[in-house]
A and B are shown apart, each in its own frame.
Chain A
Amino acid sequence: MNEFANRTGAPLRVLVVEDDFILASGLRAELIRMDAEVVGPFGDIHEAIQHIGNIDAAILDVRVREETAFPIADCLLNSRTPFLFYTAFAKTDIPGRFGNIERFSKPTEGRLLMRHLQQRRQSVREEPPADVAAALPRLRLEARQLMPEDNAADRLVEATLQRAIDGRLALPERQDRLERWFIDLLLAEYRRNGWRMMN
């Protein structure tokens, strides 16, 4: 039995972002020996980010060529995909928003990395989804800062929620991100159609 299978019993698809060829090759071989399906390794974050919707977990080096993997980490947080940092960077060099993300120094045995990712997958599944209703007061408040009267503000909120539904947009599943995400969507809707809702 595969210790690191996903919920359907298929091999865990693990994105690897690492620009050191030797480390990347070694890690890839180790993960494959554990029956994981390796996506990558990628030494370019722009290539790697294209695979985010199609993986179960990720191992990220922090410094990738001249860039950092933080944009990928943000997307993974939004999609609640478990990941870890595999890096020589100190914890203090990693932005505070990733404070809950484990950092493993190099080299670390692949099995330890996989065990950690598997545990993260378990805990993510047990978290309740974000509460949309809890984000509404802040959203209505933001709308009132933009619109001349309360009814118009609520029309803007409605249009924002409707856009999220019609556009089949992927909502962040974490509460702390959902509110910010809605506000950004509200501002975009205001710029696009706000004038129509004024009266």
Chain B
Amino acid sequence: MQSILRTARPPGPDDLRPDLAADLEAIRREKVPERILTLARTLQRRLREAQTD
């Protein structure tokens, strides 16, 4: 149990470095590789299932 307490991390402020904001915007405009999208869909499905359990 001690380890759970140690690893529980409170959400801090968004710590994106200001100089990376433009890079993030560029990535948003990029096409996401299909393999990553497939994995993300699997996780999204799991989240929905967890919500309806």
Query: A interface vs B, CB < 8 Å?
Result: 45-46, 49-50, 70-71, 74-75, 95, 97, 125, 129-133, 136-138, 140-141, 144-145, 154, 157-158, 161-162, 164-165, 170-171, 173, 176-177, 180, 184
Residue of A nearest to B46 (CB): A171
CB proximity to A under 8 Å, residues B6-35 = 8-12, 16, 20, 23-24, 27-28, 32-33, 35
Can you identify 20 A-B contacts, CB atoms within 8 angstroms?
A: A46-B1, A46-B5, A49-B4, A71-B8, A74-B8, A74-B9, A74-B10, A75-B4, A75-B8, A132-B41, A132-B43, A132-B47, A138-B24, A141-B16, A141-B20, A144-B23, A154-B33, A157-B36, A171-B43, A173-B50
User: Which size class do B's interface residues fall under?
Assistant: 20 to 34
Set of chain B residues within 8 Å of A75, measured between Cβ atoms: 4, 8
Known: A158-B39, A176-B11. A171 touches B32 (CB 8 A): no
| Binding site secondary structure of chain A | helix
Q: A138-B16, A145-B20, A158-B35 are in contact. List 7 more A-B contacts (CB 8 A).
A: A46-B5, A71-B4, A137-B27, A158-B33, A171-B43, A173-B51, A176-B11
Set of chain A residues within 8 Å of B47, measured between Cβ atoms: 129-130, 132, 171, 173
Known: A136-B36, A141-B23, A154-B36. A170 touches B50 (CB 8 A): yes
Set of chain A residues within 8 Å of B48, measured between Cβ atoms: 129
